[in-house]
C-alpha cells in the first residue's frame, strides 16, 4: 500500500491533532522563499491524505481508488518522488478502486463517468498570476470584510503586476480533476464589469471538488463566492444547463437550489423545479441578496440553517415564497408564475 509518510522528511513532527509537519517544499515554486519553519502539513485518514501549506497556501490531496491529480503529482515531485514511482502510485490507486468505500464510490464513479463525457479543456492562468498570500493585505482584507472568507479558504490567485485593471483583481480558478479549466476575475475597483468569466465551458459545475461524499445534500448557487462560502456548487449564471442538471442528478444527493434574491434569480427557480430539484428562498433582510451575503450576515452555520429550514419542492409553497420575495425585496416585476 502507498504510504505518503515514507516520502516526507525524516524530521517531520506529529502534532496532537494528527498533522505531520515539515518544511514545505511548495513555497519556492509559488513565489515564496524556502520554508524553514515547518509550515507544510499532512493529515492522514487511512490510505487517504491531505496536504496544506500554511505559508503559500498550496493544497492538494490523495484518495485511494482515484487517479493521482495534477497538483498531487507536482507535490510528490517536489518531495523528490521520481516520475516512474508516481506512475506506480497511480496504478496502485486505480487497482484498489474496487476496495473503496461503496457509499463514497457511488458518488465518485458515477460522477467520473459523466465528467468523462464532458471533456473540459485545460487552460493556464495568466502568466503573471500567483497564489494569494496572507501578506497581500488589500485582497485579504476584501475577502475578510466583504466576503467573510479567509485568504486560504480557496485557491485564490492575484495578478498584482498585471496591466490596468488586472492589478486589482482576485482570480477564482475553476478546477476539474485537479486541472484548471477556466476562472472568474473579481475586480476590486469601482468600474464595470465587476466580474469577468474566462473559458467558461458548457456543462461545467464549479465547486464539485469541495463536496464531501458523506453529505446528504448539495447546495447550488449562482456565483462562485456563494459556493465557496457555503461549500456548495455554482452554475456560474442564473440558468442551470441540461448537462449541469445531469451532473447534479448523478451525485445521488438532494439538490437544493438557492437563487439570488433579485429579478434575475427568479428564472433559476423555474429551471430548478423543471429538473425536479428542491428550492430554498429564505426570508433574508433587504441587504442580504445571496448566499455569500447570508454567510457574512449570519455566519456559515446560520446561513446554512436558514437555507435548510426554507427548502421545499412543493410548487405551491415555492410560488408563495417567490411572491413573498418579490414583495419583500420590492422587485421590479408585475408577477412571476412558476412555469412548471
Reported as a single tens digit per residue, the pLDDT across 52-79 is 998 888 999 898 888 888 899 999 999 9
Q: Does residue 105 carry a pLDDT above 70?
A: no
SS3 118: helix
Residue 214's pLDDT band (cuts 50, 70, 90): confident
**Partners of 60 in the β-ladder:** 51
Strands 48-53 and 130-131: unpaired
pLDDT of residue 336: 60
Neighbours of 314 (CB within 10 A): 12
Per-residue buried b or exposed e for 133-171, using 16+ beta carbons within 10 Å of the residue's own CB: beebeebbebbeeebbbebbebbbbbbeebeeebebbbb
Q: What is the mean pLDDT of residues 291-295?
A: 96
Rg (CA), the chain: 21
* C-alpha–C-alpha distance, residues 163 and 266, integer Å: 37
Q: Does residue 113 carry a pLDDT above 60?
A: no
Q: Does residue 314 carry a pLDDT above 60?
A: yes
Our CA dihedral for 204, 210, 214, 218, rounded to 10 degrees, sits at: -50
Q: CA nearest 248: which of 291, 215, 218?
A: 218
Q: What is the mean pLDDT of residues 23-44?
A: 91
pLDDT of residue 101: 43
Our CA dihedral for 175, 221, 298, 337, rounded to 10 degrees, sits at: 180
**Partners of 204 in the β-ladder:** none
Q: Does residue 108 carry a pLDDT above 90?
A: no
* Cell, residue 241: 444547463
Q: Which pLDDT tens digit goes with each residue over 237-277?
A: 999 999 999 889 888 899 999 999 998 898 899 999 999 99
182: left (phi over 0), alpha (psi -120 to 50) or beta: left
**The total number of residues written for the chain in this structure:** 340
Q: Does residue 21 carry a pLDDT above 80?
A: yes
Neighbours of 69 (CB within 10 A): 20
Q: Enter the DSSP assignment of 262.
A: S
pLDDT of residue 70: 86
Taking the alpha carbons of 186, 192, 198, 202 in that order, is the dihedral positive or negative?
positive
* Cell, residue 292: 455569500
CATH number attached to the domain at 208-328:
3.40.1360.10
Q: Does residue 215 carry a pLDDT above 80?
A: yes
**Over pLDDT 70: what percentage of the chain?**
91
Average pLDDT, the chain: 88
SS3 111: helix
Q: Does residue 125 carry a pLDDT above 90?
A: yes
Residue 338's pLDDT band (cuts 50, 70, 90): low
**Partners of 59 in the β-ladder:** 52
pLDDT of residue 95: 75
pLDDT of residue 157: 96
Q: Report DSSP letters for 46-104, one per residue.
A: TTEEEEEETTT--EEEE-TTSPPPHHHHHHHHHTT--HHHHHHHHHHHHHTGGGS-HHH
Question: Domain map of the chain by residue range?
Answer: 4-100, 130-198, 208-328
Amino acid at each position: 500500500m502507498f504510504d505518503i509518510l515514507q516520502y516526507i522528511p525524516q524530521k517531520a513532527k506529529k502534532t496532537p491533532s494528527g498533522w505531520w509537519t515539515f518544511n514545505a517544499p511548495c513555497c519556492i515554486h509559488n513565489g515564496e522563499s524556502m520554508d524553514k519553519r515547518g509550515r507544510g502539513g499532512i493529515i492522514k485518514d487511512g490510505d487517504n491524505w491531505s496536504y496544506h501549506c500554511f505559508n503559500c497556501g498550496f493544497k492538494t490531496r490523495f484518495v485511494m481508488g482515484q487517479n493521482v491529480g495534477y497538483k498531487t503529482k507536482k507535490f510528490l515531485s517536489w518531495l523528490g518522488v521520481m516520475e516512474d514511482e508516481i506512475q506506480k502510485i497511480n496504478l496502485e490507486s486505480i487497482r484498489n478502486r474496487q476496495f473503496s468505500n461503496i457509499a463514497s464510490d457511488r458518488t465518485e464513479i458515477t460522477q467520473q463517468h459523466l465528467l468523462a463525457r464532458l471533456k473540459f479543456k485545460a487552460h493556464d492562468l495568466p502568466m503573471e498570476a500567483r497564489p494569494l498570500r496572507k501578506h497581500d493585505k488589500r485582497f485579504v482584507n476584501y475577502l475578510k470584510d466583504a466576503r467573510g472568507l479567509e485568504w486560504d479558504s480557496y485557491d485564490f490567485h492575484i495578478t498584482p503586476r498585471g496591466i490596468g485593471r488586472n492589478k486589482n483583481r482576485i482570480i477564482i480558478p475553476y478546477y476539474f480533476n485537479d486541472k484548471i479549466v477556466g476562472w472568474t476575475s473579481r475586480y476590486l475597483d469601482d468600474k464595470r464589469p465587476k466580474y469577468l468569466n474566462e473559458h467558461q465551458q458548457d456543462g461545467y459545475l464549479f465547486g464539485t471538488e469541495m463536496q464531501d461524499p458523506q453529505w446528504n445534500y448539495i447546495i447550488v448557487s449562482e456565483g462562485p463566492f456563494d459556493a465557496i462560502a457555503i461549500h456548495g456548487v455554482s452554475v456560474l449564471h442564473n440558468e442551470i444547463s441540461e448537462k449541469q442538471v445531469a451532473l447534479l442528478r448523478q451525485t445521488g444527493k438532494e439538490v437544493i437550489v438557492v437563487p439570488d434574491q433579485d429579478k434575475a434569480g427568479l428564472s433559476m427557480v423555474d429551471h430548478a423545479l423543471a429538473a425536479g430539484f428542491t428550492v430554498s428562498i429564505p426570508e433574508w433582510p433587504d441587504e442580504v441578496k445571496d448566499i455569500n451575503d447570508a454567510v457574512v450576515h449570519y455566519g456559515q452555520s446560520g446561513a446554512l440553517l436558514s437555507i435548510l429550514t426554507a427548502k421545499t419542492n412543493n410548487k405551491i409553497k415555492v410560488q408563495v415564497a417567490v411572491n413573498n420575495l418579490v414583495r419583500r425585496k420590492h422587485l421590479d416585476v408585475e408577477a412571476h408564475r412558476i412555469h412548471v
